[in-house]
Structure formats: C-alpha cells, structure tokens
Structure 1
C-alpha cells in the first residue's frame, strides 16, 4: 500500500479528482463574479450618493478605500482561517456578508453609515471570497497556476459586466437605495450556493507538477516577510493597484470633467458603455496573461502588460475629449491592468510554495489596500487641490512604467537568485 504522505499524481488519485478540480474552478469563478459589483460598479453610486448625503467627492471616496483596505488588510488573517478550517464555510460567510453590506447600505442615510456598511462590512466579505478562492486555485492547479488564478480573477473582473447596465438602469428608475437592496440579496444567494461546491485538494495532490520550492516545505509568512524579493513584489503591486483603482474609483468624475460621460457612443451613454467594456477586458486579461506567463515567464509578461497600461493611459489622457477613443482606450487600460491579479499570486506561489499559499497571498494582497488609498481619496484630493486630472494621470502613468521596468530589470534576477539559494539549501 502506498504511503498516504507521499506525493500523488493525477493517475494515482483517479479521474474523479481530476474532474473535481475543474468543478472547483467553476465554483470559484461564480463566487468571484457574485461579489465583484461592490468594487467595480462603485463609481455608478457616487453621483446619487453625493446628491443625497452631501459632502465632497474625496470624503465619499473614503468608502471605496475602506472597502479595499479592509478587504486586503484583513486578508492574512482570513487566509489563515481558511487554511485552518477549510473553504466551504468561510466562503459562504464571505458571500453572505457581501450581500448584507449592500442591503444595510440601502438603509444608510449618512456618510458614516455608508462607510460602515458598504465599506467595512463589504470589505470583510469580499476579502474572504477573493483570498480564499485564489488560495484554493494555486493548490488545485500547480501545473496551470497562472491560467487558473487568472480565470477566477477574471470572474472578479468580469462579473460586473452582467450587473453594470442593470444597476445603472435601476439607479435611474428606482434610486440607489432600492438598487442596493435588490442586488445585495442576489449576490448573497448566488455566492453562498457556489461556495457549497468548494473543497481542498487531496494531500500530496500533483506534487510532481510543482516547482522546486513547492516540492519541499513552503515558506512560512514570517520567513517570507524577511526576504527582499517579497517587498519588491509588494511595492510593485502597490503601484499597479494605485493606477487601476484610481480609474475604477474616479472614472465617473473624470469622465464628467472631460465632457464625455453623457455622450452617446454606438447608441449608448459613454460611461456605462466604457464600464462594461472595461469589465470584459479586465477579466479577459487575467487568464490570458496568466496563460502567457506560464509559457514565457512571469517577469517577462509583467514587463509587456504593465508597459501596455502605461502607454494606454498616456494616450487616454491625450485624447480625453474624444468620447469614442475614451471608450476604446478605457478597455485597453484595463487589459493592461487586470492581470496583476493573476501574475502576482502566481509569482508569489512559484517563489514561496503552496503550503502557506493562502496566508502568504493575503499578506501580499494588502498592497491593493495601500493602492486604494493612493488611488481613491488621495487622488481625489490631488484633483481638488490642482483643479485638474492631469497631475493624477501623470503620477499613475509614471508608476506603470516604473513597475514594468522593475519587473524585468530587478525582480527577474532577484527572484532567480532567491530560488537558486532555496534549492541549494
């Protein structure tokens, strides 16, 4: 009889387990889609909320930052709990909390209550789902890590395609209170149902397909935090998060200032059309560049993708008064941004192993929280201080180009050296 502690191959665990990992991918995809709206349609709520609740844009954008900060800064703890107790229960709780955040926000009549419901509670719920699903995929798909993480991350990026126009229409006809109530219930039901199909892979699952680091014991969070390569990845993910989250949180405002928000393009208003295209390219880029990185390397792919976003952002700014180009280039911008959610977790797990993958990625994911503060209220404050979006765009374009350069010039040799040192010991 084979020792249960030894690595298992696909042949040894049977075709049922092989099929099951694709069920896990599908369940993870649906979970991610269910909780994507709080982040990706937030900009549709800013105008009606400001009209009713008052305050400034920078004050309201604290909600968005809270959502992302809580989602990311609690993720190491959430990852640890999921690693300890399994995904099904925790993911169910995450979906229920996300739906509840919108239902409660529907009854909020002050900025403080919006902060506590949409921001705080929503961040807890979406964080549990995001970190839990990514951690599950890197364990089930060691041989297709970039692709699998990219697919579920695509669910988070593309899920709002389904809801953008319905939510925009509902806000216009029923008001944002009723919209939050209805869609909050829907996302909770869908997310909880999908979570029931999730589980961990068998012990020793596909160890033969892992990297040299994976084949041994994984690097624990405490040891990971002492390595320069981790902090370089953290800084890079922070800069890329800032760029994309600035666009996500401020797009409704700068589209209005550019004079294109209400312009009709292809029979539809430019802003919701751009948001829908963004959700599609933001999702498509995650499995696409994840698949590319499985073949040409993580850092090479980062250089291409991050550079693409920087160039697209520059062209977007230069043609900002053209509604058609505004819509088209917004899609290119997100095609160059969304892949951070497949490339960074794949690179991190390639480097530090799968044993502590969920907790380790929870720590790296905190970089998005930092980026949400820089791209949310601080970007709004910079706009308010200068009266222009040009300084804001200039800062994030510089971050894109710098991150692309760091990936190829610094991260690539640094990670190669670290892996060689790990293998030698």
Structure 2
C-alpha cells in the first residue's frame, strides 16, 4: 500500500508562516507590476507603445540577474535581512511611480527594473530560505508547500492590478497597495522570518 505522507514539522513553525506570507507579498507585488509594465509606460509616462513593449526586455534582464544574486545573498546573510532589502527596493519603486509624471522615462525604467528585480529575487530567496530554516531532508515536500504562496500571489496580483485601473481610472493607484504590502512584509520578515529558538542554526 502507498505510505501515508504526514504534514512536515515545518507547518508547526512560526517561521514557515512568516516565509509564506512574505512570499505571497513578493509574488503579488512582482506579478502585479509585470502585468502592467507596458500599459503604465503608455498611460502614465506617455511613451511610444513600441518603446513600452521594448522596455520589457530590460526589465527581464534585471529579473534574471537577481536570481543568482539573491541566492548568493541568502546563503550569506539571515533571510529576513534579504527579504527586508527586497521590500525596501519595492517601496522605493512604489514611491517613484506614485510621483511619476508624463515624460519621466528614467523614473519609469528604474522603478520597473526594481519591481522585476525583486520578483526574480523572491524566486531564489524562498527556496534558499526553506532549505536553511527547515529540515533539508524534507526539502522537496517543504518547498512544495511554501511554493503555494507563489500561486496565491500570482492569482491575486494579476487580478487586482487591472481591477484597480478599472475602479479608479489610473494605474497610479495600483502602487499604493503595493507600497503598503511592502511595509507589512518588512514587519512580518522582522518578527517571523527567522529560525525557531528550538532549532539550532547558524543564522
């Protein structure tokens, strides 16, 4: 008979819920931004649609570069510090876009490079943190559970960003909840994204 697989001890850990919430926020903000990258450039910055579409290639480069970088950082520093750094960059990007005006192409490029950079970062930070904080022998099952946060963030992120545009008439308003979530993520990471006291670790 097929053996029964019980939920791992990770589910009893406060740090799991800290990581899960932080991952949802990182995925939500990142995928919200990705989904509106070109429309924001056309509507708020009023750049040529071809340039807006072409800028996505630059954003994708930052998304790719961040993965090995965040993986390297996560191996060398406590995960909560790396997470807080990510949320700080997201908050900076949100502030830039809330204040962005027509023609401010550099502001737009910097902000969305940061958004894409941080999303790529979370795709490296979450698995590395799962490996560091929980039993490595259960890594496959543990990360399978942690990865559900990405699915939730992706679903909500793609729905909410477009809806805000419909409700308020401008993509500018999408950056307010993103900024608030970045602040919430910083608080959660500070208090919950760290090893349980009962688990010996070098973090």
What interval of TM-score do these two structures reach, taking the shorter chain for normalisation? 0.7 to 0.9
Q: How does 1:125-144 map to 2 (within 5 A)?
A: none
Give the aligned partner of residue 352 of structure 1. 134
Corresponding residue for residue 32 of structure 2:
246
Q: Which is greater in Rg?
A: 1
Counterpart position of 1:145? none
Does 2:155 correspond to 1:369? no
Root-mean-square deviation (Å): 2.1
Distance 1:320 1:340, change over 3 A: farther
Distance 1:366 1:296, change over 3 A: same
Q: Which of 222, 234, 237 lines up with 2:20 in the alignment?
A: 234
Q: Tell me: CA distance 1:304–1:367, structure 2 relative to 1, closer, same or farther (3 Å).
A: same
- Check whether the contact 1:309–1:337 (CA below 8 A) recurs between aligned residues: no
User: What residue number does 2:3 align with?
Assistant: none
Distance 1:248 1:283 in 2: 14
CA distance in structure 2 between the partners assigned to 1:238 and 1:261 by the alignment: 31
The answer to whether residue 62 in structure 2 is matched with residue 281 in structure 1 is yes
Secondary structure of the 1:417 match is coil
> Counterpart of 1:342 in 2: which secondary structure?
helix
8 Å Cα contact 2:90-2:118 kept in structure 1? yes
Match of 1:258 among 44, 47, 51: 44
Q: Is the 8 A contact 1:270 1:323 kept in 2?
A: no
Displacement of 1:244:
0.4
Contact 2:13/2:196, CA 8 A, preserved across alignment: no
Instruction: Work out whether residues 15 and 192 of structure 2, in 8 Å CA contact, stay in contact via their aligned partners in 1.
Output: no
Equivalent residues of 1:242, 1:374 under 8 A apart: yes
Spell out structure 1 runs of 4+ moving beyond 3 A: none
CA contact (8 A) 1:221 1:356 kept: no
**Corresponding residue for residue 306 of structure 1:** 87
Distance 1:353 1:271 in 2: 44
Per-residue Cα deviation, 1:284-334 (whole angstroms, up to 9, x for no partner): 111112212222222112111221121122113312421232123321232
Q: Is residue 2:72 matched to residue 1:291?
A: yes
Q: Which residues in structure 2 correspond to 1:379-394 (within 5 Å)?
A: 379-394=161-176
**So what's the TM-score if we normalise by structure 1?**
0.43
Shift of 1:348: 0.9
Task: Give the whole-Å Cα distance in 1 for the aligned partners of 2:174 and 2:120.
Answer: 20
Q: 1:411 to 1:259 in 2, by over 3 A?
A: closer
Segments of 5+ residues of structure 2 without an aligned counterpart are: 1-5
Residue 156 of structure 1 corresponds to which residue in structure 2? none
Please, which moves more after superposition, 237-246 or 347-356?
347-356
Whether contact under 8 Å (2:37, 2:112) holds in the other structure is: no
In the other structure, the counterpart of 1:335 is 117
2: CA distance between counterparts of 1:284 and 1:363? 26
Select the structure with the greater relative contact order (CA < 8 A; seq sep ≥ 6).
Answer: 2
**Residue aligning to 2:99:** 318
